[in-house]
Structure 1
Amino acid sequence: MTMEGDKNGGMEKYTVTLSAEEAEQLQALVAKGTHAAAKMVNALILLNCDESQARGRRRSSQEIAEVLQVSPRKIDRLKRRFVEDGLEVALRGVPSQWEYEHKIDGEVEAHLIALSCSVPPSGHARWSLRLLADRAVELELVEAVSHETVRRALKKTNSSRGARWAG
């Protein structure tokens, strides 16, 4: 893994040089074919960008992009990630650093399930996700919640309105 400075538009040029072990690992990953598509595409990009002596002349990023039907920018980003962070991060991507506080815990979930199984408010034939969300706020189970969050919570517990086995 090396990095060279390049004055083309102020962008740095990253040179991918795979060790024999890394190249073998990527070849095996691609040959097996049971991994996520994005991971396999990343492996193919790295194999095609390899400039080690064993691989000979490599194609340009533009040629690789056309063959693999990805953008040249994706290739540049992947090369940079490989050089800066290593093979594993280049294959899997950078894990999200966002952490969200869950609005619905087990207790609120139980209340929502019980509420969805109860008689709907007058004027309504059944509970809608919006009605459930509004009622959860009225009961002060949560400060605020969207109907989508309610949907995910009910789906997780197999209590979606469309499920035949749900109550």
Structure 2
Amino acid sequence: MGRQQKYPVRLTDEEREELSKITRMGKQSARVMQRAQILLWSDAGKQDKEIVALLGCAPMTVSSTRERWVKEKRLEDLPRLGSKPMLDAKQESLLIALACSDAPEGRAEWTMQLLADKLVELKVVEQISDETVRRTLKKTSSSRGKKRSGASHR
């Protein structure tokens, strides 16, 4: 037999049934399904090396899955930290409406910088970069003043 595991998995009948359901149903992410299978095999007495060979995953995946389960009873990842969006939904809709409106006099169409400057001028935001404007319009599949896209009239 192998060496003693630092975080041995001991599942209740309910936990075993729930994890089995996760592996059978296929409605979870591949990561969650893999973690459920790791826990089931760990509970069945399989050693880490066997599980690694069966799943083709890294040894660290097996040990960290067992540790997370023993400490927190959790299969899912925690939400990732990140910066908040530069524009909220209302500000995005104002940007899209502006981009779909007629360009300023003397211009054929809006530039990203003109849109950014106009949002600041209208006090929609305190500051915004042309790159944020570009990404927002790309995300919403809007265009700068082309009549066939975005929220323009048809």
When the two structures are superposed, what TM-score results if normalisation uses the length of structure 2? 0.70
Give the percent of matched residue pairs that are identical in Structure 1 and Structure 2. 39
Corresponding residue for residue 61 of structure 2: 74
- Aligned residue pairs total 146
Higher relative contact order (CA 8 A, sep 6+): 2
CA 110–35 in structure 1, closer or farther in 2 if over 3 Å, else same: closer
Give the letter for the 1:17 counterpart: R
Kept after mapping to 2: 8 A contact 1:120/1:126: yes
Pairing 1:98-109 to 2, within 5 Å after superposition? 98=81, 100-109=83-92
Kept after mapping to 1: 8 A contact 2:100/2:147: no
Pick from 26, 32, 56: which aligns with 1:33? 26
Distance 1:26 1:129 in 2: 50
Residue 77 of structure 1: how far off its partner (Å): 1.5
Gaps in structure 2 of 5+ consecutive residues: none
Give the letter for the 2:101 counterpart: S
Gaps in structure 1 of 5+ consecutive residues: 1-5, 7-11
Instruction: Return 16-25 or 105-114, whichever deviates more.
Output: 105-114
Residue 40 of structure 1: how far off its partner (Å): 0.8
Pick from 17, 28, 36: which aligns with 1:24? 17
Pick from 69, 77, 90: which aligns with 1:93? 77
Runs of 4 or more above 6 Å deviation: none
Kept after mapping to 2: 8 A contact 1:133/1:145: yes
Give the letter for the 1:108 counterpart: Q
Residue 116 of structure 1: how far off its partner (Å): 0.6
